[in-house]
Amino acid sequence: MKIHYLITSLENGEAKFAIPDIVTALKDLGHDVSIIACQPRELNIPPHFMEAGLSYTELSSRRRALPIVLASYLSVIHRERPDIIWTSSSFGNLVGQCAGKIRGIPVISFQHSANVKSYTYCLRHCSTLWVGDSQTVVDYLQHRMHIPAERVMTWPLFQYNEQTPQAKPWDGQSRLQIGSVGPLYQAQQYLALIDALGDYLVRYPHLRQRIQLTILGDGPERERLEDKVIERNLQGIVRLPDFSSDITSFLSGLHLYVQPSDQQGMCLAVHEAMNVGLPIMARPVGEMRDAVQAGRTGFVLSGDLKKALASSLQEIFIDPSILGIYGASARKYVRNHFNHQQFTQAAERIIAQLPCTEPLTAR
């Protein structure tokens, strides 16, 4: 079967980190998969692409309106004749759904968060099958988007890696290294995180030299974040380095991983952090509702972010040893729930549900 894996763009977002594993799994099952981006990339090519040696096609050299991108993709369809269009992210879904409707090609759509654009909701029935990257997203697809259960499946997009280097637990004496990885977009809630940390250090100024927060990423919010650091007098405490492809080395140098976003589905960065043995501090959303367990794998940031962050940090400074205990439990959790066999089996179940199609020439 020939599959077009259609995405909005090649950025360093959550869904993009998993594309090499997704494509490899589909190819291992005997399918021909082509990666197609609707828009040109603005950031660096994701490191996983470089390491996997994947190729891709961009439909335009600059951002264009839907009719132009759709016309370009229809031309690609005419030339390559795919059996399935597999879409991911909002604009990718839109282009794929329109093209599938025009050419009579079944569309499968990936959903990575419990939140969609209005046009995604309106066109939801144009996709033959929806795939959620976590149970929370699956529930959203069924109960909020009103997609029948038989047209919704799940595929958690993370694989545990036994060979990943491990982080060293915090000794309670050195500077507490807190970190996060992600594109610098408003939805990541990094502004709110910096504000919350600023408030905490106003209350506990003696801890200013004992905390370091590093947010690894790039994107349109960088200038606002840099201004916020200055506004809250957090220079030297909050670092905003450019995105680095060596994420594992960055994570293994931390003592605690934080994810303030409240719009996540399957947060791959959180699971990568758990894989290196880091405790997690995160909102109870998406798959993190299950993975981040208070008193076991980390700290749940429920309710008001400022209060939740302050409470968690106080718990850590009172008993630094809990970070090592939580980190070990976090690694065990991803080992038990996200191994390679489970990842492959999920792909097999989805493939088994794909509609049988006639060759495009017969349509």
88-116 as b/e: b if 16+ CB within 10 A? bbbbbbbbbbbbbeebebbbbbbbbbbbb
Q: At what angle do helices 268-275 and 14-28 cross, to 10 degrees?
A: 80
pLDDT in tens, the chain (363 residues): 999 999 998 764 555 567 888 898 999 999 999 999 998 876 556 666 666 678 889 998 888 899 999 999 999 999 999 999 999 889 999 999 999 999 999 999 999 877 788 999 999 999 999 999 888 889 999 999 999 999 999 998 888 999 999 999 999 999 999 999 988 888 889 999 999 999 999 999 999 999 999 999 888 999 999 999 999 999 999 999 987 768 889 999 999 999 999 877 668 889 999 999 999 999 998 788 889 999 999 999 999 999 999 999 999 999 999 999 999 999 999 999 888 888 899 999 998 887 654 433 334
Instruction: Please give the model's pTM, rounded to 2 decimal places.
Output: 0.78
Give the tokens for residue 306. Answer: 């400022």
Burial of 318 (0-12, 13-18, 19+ CB in 10 A): exposed
- What does the chain come to in residues? 363
- Distances, alpha carbon 38 to alpha carbons 72, 95, 109, in Å: 9, 8, 15
